[in-house]
Every structure is written in C-alpha cells, then in structure tokens.
Amino acid sequence: MLKNVFKNEPIAEMQISDIKKRDIKYMYERWTGPGLITRKAFVNRKSALNGVFTFAAENEYIAVNFIPSIVTTELKFKEPNHQNKAFRKDERQKLLKYLRTLKQDGYTLAIQLALYSTFRIGELRAIRYDDLSGNTLTIRHQLVEESEYAVNTKYLKVDKAPRRVNEKLPKGNAHYSVREITLISEAVEILNMAKEINPDGEYLFMCHGRPINNDTFNERLRKYCGEAGVPYLSSHKLRFTVASIMRSSGVDIAFLQKNLGHSNRRMTEHYIYEDVEDPKDMEEQLGLILGVS
C-alpha cells in the first residue's frame, strides 16, 4: 500500500519532520473527493500512514504522531459494494450441514463456530477452554501473525524478519473488544468437541500441535464452500454473516455492537447487510405495503 498509494504523493519526497497537518489533510481530500473511495479503503490508507508516523515518533524522528488528531468528519466516502458481503441464510445452513458430515479437526470446528458467532478470526484462534463458563464465552485475546521490521540506515531500506504468532489484546479499544458473548447450545457443543479432540493444547483450535492460521482457515473454507455448493466468502465475511442474520431477525443494534466489540455504532452498521436471503413474492409485498385498495 505504501508503494502503490503514497509513491506519487508530495509527502513521499519530503522529510517526515517537515510534513505538516495541512499536507495530510490536503492528501485526504484528494483521495476522497466527492466519494472516490470507500470509508474502509480510506481507513486502510490512514492506518498505514499512522504506522509510519508512530514508528517515527517512537524513534524520535518527530516529536509526536499527529495523524490520529486530524479531523476527517467532513470527508465524503463512496458507498461500499454490498454484493457478496454475507452468506444468505440458506447458504449458511447448507454449509453448516455439510461441515457436520466431515471428519472433525481444529479447522472444521473453528469454521462451524465462526458461523454461530461474531468473533474476529484472531479472537477465534486464541480461545482457551477456560474462557467458557456455561454458555458464556469471554473474549480476552487474539492471535496475530506479525513480522519484525528494522531500518537499515546504511542501505536506506527496511529489513523484515519472518512472521511469528503473538498473543495480544483483541483488536480495537480494549474496553469494548474484551467482552462476553452468549453462545447457543450448538456453539457450546462445538467447543466441547474441540476440547475432546485437543485436550492438552494451549489453545482450543489447533492442528498438528500448532494454532490454526488464517491462510489455511481460508483455504479450507474455500474448499468446503465449493464442496457444499455455496459461493466462497472469506473468514471475515462470516462475521458479517452472523451479525446480518441477527439484525434481520430483529436483534437490537446495541446488542450487536457489544457482540462485535465495536466502540461506535457506525462501525457496527458497516457490518450489517440485512439482505441475507433472496426476497420472495416482492410484488405482493410491495402491494401490501404501498397499495391503497
């Protein structure tokens, strides 16, 4: 992203200590214009920029990282494309039924649990059996795969070490992301099965003695979707699916915000795609809603 997005920006040719708030603000306005990119695309770019300025501040190249303080409320964003944002109800059911026919391991069980819950994939990977009390699961941690970076001042480049798995607090504001989630009986049974398969593992969902990883999770998910005859959606879209089905069935958005671990309602609304099944008898429905006779 830094290469593709920032290489043609004026700040790419500037010393970081010379970059002012106004330079960043003008860049934001060029990016977004009258709705040129989605909010998600903007947040991704801003996060990359924030990482650079955080590194610079920590290493005292600049006095302070001012990126988080720049007001962005007046920016206009493109509406996201909601197509393929979530499984329909029948697709979710079909996938779950197929998964139950397979020989169970850490991945098949983790995918099933993700279809019953609003976990982030990193949170799912970090679940321990002790986190479960009755039908309440406490989300305390996430597992993330990170690389260590170091600035090579001699050759003016960044050296990257191999990725390793780190346990951290859940993504986002810890006050919201460390949370309790109520599970239905089917989800609790999945956790119990995982414990039976992996009784001594550090984490509940492991395979070959290692925690499940994101890439294999998505590879398995793609394979199972194909075999079940449903369109493939990534692991992150499972979170969209559960939130959307809950909302379309009347669950209050404040409850969903708590379950998703969001600090604000706007982010929760981004996750909700209420059209999770094909409309039926739409002409008749419109007649009942709009007709005068």
Instruction: Report whether 114 contacts 239 (CB < 8 A).
Output: yes
**Structure confidence at residue 203 (pLDDT):** 96
CA 233 – CA 239 distance, rounded (Å): 11
CA 288 – CA 97 distance, rounded (Å): 35
Task: Report helix angle 21-32 to 39-58, nearest 10.
Answer: 160
- Torsion sign (Cα): 189, 165, 231, 282: positive
Structure tokens at 53: 């300025």
Both ends of the chain: CA-CA distance in Å? 57
- State which amino acid sits at residue 148: E
Other CB atoms within 10 A of residue 77 CB: 19
Alpha carbon of residue 164 to chain centroid = 20
Domain 89-143+172-271 has CATH 1.10.443.10: yes
CA 205 – CA 220 distance, rounded (Å): 14
| Residue from 218, 137, 126 nearest 170 by CA | 126
Structure tokens at 32: 């977004």
pLDDT tens string, the chain, 293 residues long: the values are 777 888 889 999 999 999 999 999 999 999 999 999 988 889 989 999 999 999 999 999 999 999 999 999 999 998 766 556 789 999 999 999 999 999 999 999 999 999 999 989 999 999 999 999 999 999 999 998 877 777 777 776 777 777 788 999 998 777 889 999 999 999 999 999 999 999 999 999 999 999 999 999 999 999 999 999 999 999 989 998 999 999 888 889 999 999 999 888 888 887 777 655 555 665 676 667 666 65
Extended strands (E) in the chain: 34-38, 76-78, 132-133, 136-139, 142-146, 149-152, 157-160, 164-168, 179-182, 206-207, 210-211
DSSP 56-108: HHHTTSSS---GGGS--TT-EEEPP--TTSS--HHHHHHHHHHHTTSPP-HHH
Pairing of strands 149-152, 136-139: unpaired
> What is the pTM (predicted TM-score) of this model?
0.72
Alpha carbon of residue 209 to chain centroid = 25
Instruction: Report whether 259 contacts 183 (CB < 8 A).
Output: no
Tell me the domain boundaries of the chain: 2-78, 89-143+172-271
Instruction: Report whether 181 contacts 136 (CB < 8 A).
Output: yes
- State which amino acid sits at residue 22: R
Q: What is the CA radius of gyration of the chain?
A: 22
**Structure confidence at residue 98 (pLDDT):** 97
Alpha carbon of residue 42 to chain centroid = 16
CA 41 – CA 237 distance, rounded (Å): 16
Instruction: Report whether 123 contacts 170 (CB < 8 A).
Output: yes
**Structure confidence at residue 83 (pLDDT):** 58
